[in-house]
A and B are shown apart, each in its own frame.
Chain A
């Protein structure tokens, strides 16, 4: 149960972030969540969108280089200890987290945490074995629409 994430390399300059956002907006594509990892000179924009293929097409048409990577989205109760439980499981199987970011939906008490592990498959197996809900793309988009 993995989902697709789009990522783009952006120079750390005014206007660099707004351009892809505007392109997606014009195409009627909503961004479920995003994260920006930045250094002084460049950043990496990571996006989760409902229709990643359409979004990729829109961005590429405008000249952006878009990477598609698989990430793992887990659902936890939005309360103290929610994230710690997940991290302990990952620690036990000896995996590294390349990066992660989190978001919540308005309509329920769950938080969704998006992970990029150095081995996503092992992570999914380990998390599911401990009863953590790993959400797939379709499921997530359905929920976002509620």
Chain B
């Protein structure tokens, strides 16, 4: 007896290729990727130093001879220095969802866009979407890859798109009630938000037409999946991707929902110990390092995702032969993802710095008390800004909240502290405490 949540369907034959055949395809595509990357000055130089040519890649494990690519490399080649094709060949440009002051851009050729749509279509089909269905997309449409990526994926499936974009939650609910979509596509925390707003409008989300949901863009847990499914009466599917690689479509849940299948015909995924950079054992958490095997516009070699997950090579009951990955359970760097928005402690610091009366002593705490991420910024005030008037203190706190909202794009709870309240550390100050438990 199987444990499928829904009926098990597979879109492409590549998803069920025998491993040896799949690996041969990967090797061929890895060589092609190295050849394409030679057109990028950054890689050309790196390859020359290591004596790497397409022919020098003899086996898949030779990928370990290739250089890493990091976010910093993307920044130092800003904006499109890692493109392997002339600017005129680009069909679209997306950017990182972050608001770090220095965005990173990713170029796509027409073929890249076709590939991407197909990859999204695969996980959408695996998660129940069929021709004739309607999918409501509540991801933001813009530079962020979520909206447009899924949009063309839904079209590729042959289903109808309801492109609502994110926000205006009351309207999201009204559209669900009136247009009766089969699937919801957004971040998991936003789904809970939608459910809450629906109840506030007197609509039980369980009575809505939704049967499937495809979630991505942020870390979430099995507990949250169960909760969303109970609150909305649907089957929720996880997908994973990142703009640097392509966007959503790197991996996704199947009907068995015991790990996300990596689309290995397009991505070569390593799981490395972030310290030693040696491969981790199967089922052991490490940093995902991804090589895009078919990207034309921007071939990405061994991209350090900073995402922590584990790989499961065990054959899945759904019939796919691809390796599965666990949920992302953390990040190697200090970037915080708050309800799908990338937040860096440096941005909080910048915001605090801009409000008169604050000191450079602060602490950022992240919690998930009630399903949604909550960020609390505790900041010590400068002595001369302490007032006997409550209104003055509250105005100060409100202006800090607004500043953080502007600079970092998140709504933070701000706690004012008297001078000399926070623990001082001798070495590097502890600025961030993440109390979210994402291993559930």
Query: Which residues of chain B are within 8 angstroms of A46 by Cβ–Cβ distance?
Result: 388
Tell me if B1 is interfacial: C-beta within 8 Å of chain A: no
List B411-432 residues whose CB lies under 8 Å from chain A. Answer: 415-421
Given A39-B394, A42-B393, also A5-B388 (CB < 8 A): yes
Stretch at the interface among A7-15, A24-32, A73-81, A131-139: A7-15
Tell me if B41 is interfacial: C-beta within 8 Å of chain A: no
Contact A11 B421 (CB under 8 A): yes
Number of interchain pairs (Cβ within 8 Å): 46
Tell me if B48 is interfacial: C-beta within 8 Å of chain A: no
Contact B393 A44 (CB under 8 A): yes
Contact A65 B416 (CB under 8 A): no
Tell me if B61 is interfacial: C-beta within 8 Å of chain A: no
Tell me if A108 is interfacial: C-beta within 8 Å of chain B: no
Q: How far is the CA of A42 from the CA of B390 in the complex (A)?
A: 10
Query: Which residues of chain A are within 8 angstroms of B390 by Cβ–Cβ distance?
Result: 37, 39, 44, 99
CB-based nearest B residue for A43? B390
Tell me if B13 is interfacial: C-beta within 8 Å of chain A: no
Specify the main secondary structure of chain A where it touches its partner: strand
Q: How far is the CA of A49 from the CA of B420 in the complex (A)?
A: 25
CB-based nearest B residue for A45? B388
Tell me if B387 is interfacial: C-beta within 8 Å of chain A: yes
B contact residues, total (Cβ < 8 Å): 17
Tell me if B389 is interfacial: C-beta within 8 Å of chain A: yes
Tell me if B383 is interfacial: C-beta within 8 Å of chain A: yes
Q: How far is the CA of A5 from the CA of B394 in the complex (A)?
A: 20
Q: How far is the CA of A69 from the CA of B381 in the complex (A)?
A: 18
Contact A98 B389 (CB under 8 A): yes
Contact A67 B386 (CB under 8 A): yes
Tell me if A63 is interfacial: C-beta within 8 Å of chain B: yes
Instruction: Encode contact with B along A108-125: 1 for CB under 8 Å, 0 otherwise.
Output: 000000001000000000
Tell me if B3 is interfacial: C-beta within 8 Å of chain A: no
List B310-360 residues whose CB lies under 8 Å from chain A. Answer: none
Q: How far is the CA of A84 from the CA of B68 in the complex (A)?
A: 76
Contact B391 A65 (CB under 8 A): no
Query: Which residues of chain A are within 8 angstroms of B416 by Cβ–Cβ distance?
Result: 9, 41-42
Contact B388 A65 (CB under 8 A): no
Q: How far is the CA of A116 from the CA of B387 in the complex (A)?
A: 12
Contact A9 B381 (CB under 8 A): yes
Listed by A's residue number, 20 A-B pairs whose Cβ atoms lie within 8 Å are A5-B388, A8-B418, A9-B381, A9-B386, A9-B393, A9-B418, A11-B418, A37-B390, A39-B394, A41-B415, A41-B416, A42-B416, A44-B389, A46-B388, A65-B383, A65-B386, A67-B388, A69-B388, A99-B389, A116-B388
Residues of B with Cβ closer than 8 Å to A? Answer: 381, 383, 386-391, 393-394, 415-421
